[in-house]
Amino acid sequence: MDDSIELRQLRCLVVLAEELNYRRAAERLHVSQPPLTRLVAETERRLGARLFERTTRRVSLTPIGEIFVAEAQAVLARSEMATETIQAAIRRAVGQIRIVYSPLSFLTVLPGILSGLRGSYHDIRIDLLEMRSAAQLEALLLGHADLAFTDEAPHEPTLHRACLHREPLSVLLPENHALAVLDSVTLAALAGETFVLHPRSDYPAYYDRVLAACQAAGFVPRVSHREAQQNCAVLVAAGNGILLTPATFGRNPTPGMCYVPLESAESEGLQAEVWAAWPRVDA
């Protein structure tokens, strides 16, 4: 899903897909038809593909349009879930809400959530602290945080959880690496590489998924662990290995580095995720 398409625009496209009629869709959306027509044309231009077929008699979705609309519906559902998540956490908060978050959540779901939160709850103080997944879970369980935006799904019975975001992974490489010229790379092609990983104690579920996916691809990865105060991207730049990382981080590449997408068939089990987690009211 193109990150430059706003939720409001996605809703318009979903309504059009439901109605398959520009007039009825415009009436539901309380807009005139020309802006809706322009939105479809602009979205198709960005994507480089037609989403709707329109004749004098009917409007229909193209195969690519069906895929796009299904993903748009999922994005909108996750957005609604994020709103419900915030409201649930605020009901527990008294004058202050303590939020712990991951770097990926900060680049994806968190800015929009914070904007809505500040607009709706002027008298709530928001405290923010970046943490790794394991530390976020501990903060929630100890009562030191009210809400977490974490890269791993918590499984503790005393916590609610909701997945707000999913995206594919890319491979971070030095730009002079032999694989850097490829449009995409399979996991099997990385068999001879050293994988830079956070210690398992920081992101246990992700660590285990990486190892399991590599084994399913036919190899046991050679791992170089990031030490305290070390930056994984710096280790890659220094030639210490390669890094599997969310595609979002590749939108602003570091000089001397490149991001190569991990092929979708290989990356389905290794998608990056952002989960919201908060204590159960009756816990």
Q: Which amino acid is at 243?
A: L
Give the Cα separation of 75 and 56 in Å (integer): 31
Q: Tell me what pLDDT residue 145 has.
A: 93
- Who contacts 181 (Cβ-Cβ below 8 Å, separation ≥6)? none
**Three-class secondary structure of residue 165 per DSSP:** strand
Q: In the structure, what pLDDT confidence band is assigned to residue 116 with cuts at 50, 70 and 90? A: confident
Q: Among 270, 103, 273, 260, which residue's Cα sits nearest to residue 193?
A: 260
The secondary element (H helix, E strand) that includes residue 195 is strand 194-197
pLDDT of residue 175 exceeding 50:
yes
For the chain, the average pLDDT equals 86
Q: What is the CA radius of gyration of the chain?
A: 21
The secondary element (H helix, E strand) that includes residue 101 is strand 96-101
pLDDT of residue 264 exceeding 80:
no
Q: Tell me what pLDDT residue 92 has.
A: 65
Q: What is the pTM of this model?
A: 0.69
Torsion sign over Cα 129, 133, 134, 137: positive
Paired tokens of 180: 């850097």
Paired tokens of 282: 């009756």
Report the range of poorest mean pLDDT among 37-51, 85-99, 154-168, 262-276: 85-99
Cβ–Cβ contacts within 10 Å for residue 65, how many?
Answer: 22
- 3 exposure class (CB count in 10 Å sphere: 0-12, 13-18, 19+): exposed
Q: In the structure, what pLDDT confidence band is assigned to residue 84 with cuts at 50, 70 and 90? A: confident
Which carries the bigger pLDDT value, residue 92 or residue 49? Answer: 49
pLDDT of residue 4 exceeding 60:
no
Which carries the bigger pLDDT value, residue 87 or residue 146? Answer: 146
pLDDT of residue 137 exceeding 90:
yes
Q: Tell me what pLDDT residue 230 has.
A: 61
Q: Tell me what pLDDT residue 41 has.
A: 93
Structural domains for the chain: 7-61 (1.10.10.10), 80-166+273-279 (3.40.190.10), 169-261 (3.40.190.10)
